[in-house]
Structure 1
Amino acid sequence: MSKQQHPWRLWLVTVFFFLATIFHPSFADVGTAAQYSPPYLPTACSGNDASQFPTNNLFAAAGDGIWDNGASCGRQYLVRCISAATPGTCNPSQTIQIRIVDRAETSVSRPSTNGATIILSTTAFGAIANPSAASVNIEFQQV
């Protein structure tokens, strides 16, 4: 007796791969982002060491939700603006990678809005949203 492939198995495998590509799981979180401007030193992570800042100036201070008793220092996140109080504020096609260098609660420069998840440098905030906004809603994922 010869083995014959069942057509429904091929159909089932095809449907599974189709659904897997459309409904992939998301590992990102949502929160809010504010911005802060210089002076950035000293920081809670590395004091007065200016080498902690990436050369592209895409860095941030961690809000209480991700501070993790200082374990967030040096962590990197992909950040994307998803919405804001004013339509057209976000640059939805832009995702940036930032490094945590400070704690929002103790940063020298105060954030534009208190209680945000991530406080972005002015360069980082301007890359994903209109810099005149005080805060935006973001999607972020640790990398």
Structure 2
Amino acid sequence: MKMSRIHQVSESKLQKWLLLLSLSLLSIYVPLSFADLGTAARYSTPYLPTECYGHDATVFPANSLFAAAGEGIWDNGAACGRQYMVSCISANAPSSCVPGSTIQVKIVDRAATAVSKASSRGAALVLSTTAFDQLVRPPSTTSINIMFQQVS
């Protein structure tokens, strides 16, 4: 009787240990991420007026890294001023993404109402020409697949 009880306790400890080991290994191979996946298009001048700031050009970042928000992140205008880290993960033309390139963009407009139309419809983000060109070489593609994360 004592032997079977010891065997049950050992088996229970072994199961717990194996579960812990499995979860540890899983966490190594499946990193936790809070980034979203979507598409990005480009748009070009004219950028004014914007849905967020009207005719105020002073809100545009000096480095020209800005974007218009697609409907999925527009959030009834709450997206205005938010900052996103954006990386190109693939494009319809092979090897178009600039390897290791990640940029930070500021939302200044709504894609659906922007004066300049997007190069592709339904994008999560519509990037300024400068922002798009930093992620893609050659810049002839009209849409890319991106990973993006809000940072502020």
Please say whether Structure 1 and Structure 2 have the same fold, judged by a TM-score greater than 0.5: yes
The answer to whether 1:127 aligns with 2:139 is no
What is the CA–CA distance in structure 2 between the aligned matches of 1:129 and 1:46, rounded to whole Å? 28
Bigger Rg over Cα: 2
1:50 aligns with 57
Contact preservation (8 Å) 1:63, 1:119: yes
| Partner-residue secondary structure (3-state), 1:87 | coil
Deviation of 1:92 (Å): 2.7
Residue 141 of structure 1 deviates from its aligned partner by: 0.3
Query: How far apart are the structure 2 equivalents of 1:23 and 1:71?
Result: 32
Instruction: Judge conservation of contact 1:72–1:100 (CA < 8 Å) in 2.
Output: yes
Separation of aligned partners in 2, 1:74 and 1:84: 27
Q: One-letter code of the match for 1:36?
A: Y
Aligned position for 1:88: 95
Deviation (angstroms), 1:98: 0.3
Tell me: CA distance 1:113–1:16, structure 2 relative to 1, closer, same or farther (3 Å). closer
Q: Which runs of 4+ in 1 moved over 6 A?
A: 13-19
Structure 1 counterpart of 2:86: 79
Alignment correspondent of 1:65: 72
For normalisation by structure 2, the TM-score amounts to 0.80
In structure 1, the residue matched to 2:36 is 29
Q: Deviations over 1:87-124 (max 9, x none)?
A: 01111310000000000000000110111110000000
Seq. identity, %:
60
Shift of 1:24: 2.7
Distance 2:37 2:26 in 1: 24
Count of residues in correspondence between the two structures: 136
SS at the partner of 2:109? Answer: strand
Matching of residue 142 in structure 1 with residue 127 in structure 2: no
Aligned-pair RMSD on alpha carbons?
Answer: 2.0
User: C-alpha displacement at 1:14, in angstroms?
Assistant: 10
TM-score normalised over the length of structure 1: 0.85
In structure 1, how many angstroms separate the alpha carbons of the residues matched to 2:68 and 2:34?
A: 21
Report deviation, 1:23.
3.7
Shift of 1:51: 1.0
Alpha-carbon distance in 2 for matches of 1:18, 1:53: 45
User: 2:68 & 2:135 partners in 1: Cα distance?
Assistant: 16
Instruction: Report the 3-state secondary structure (helix = DSSP H, G, I; strand = E; otherwise coil) of the residue aligned with 2:74.
Output: helix
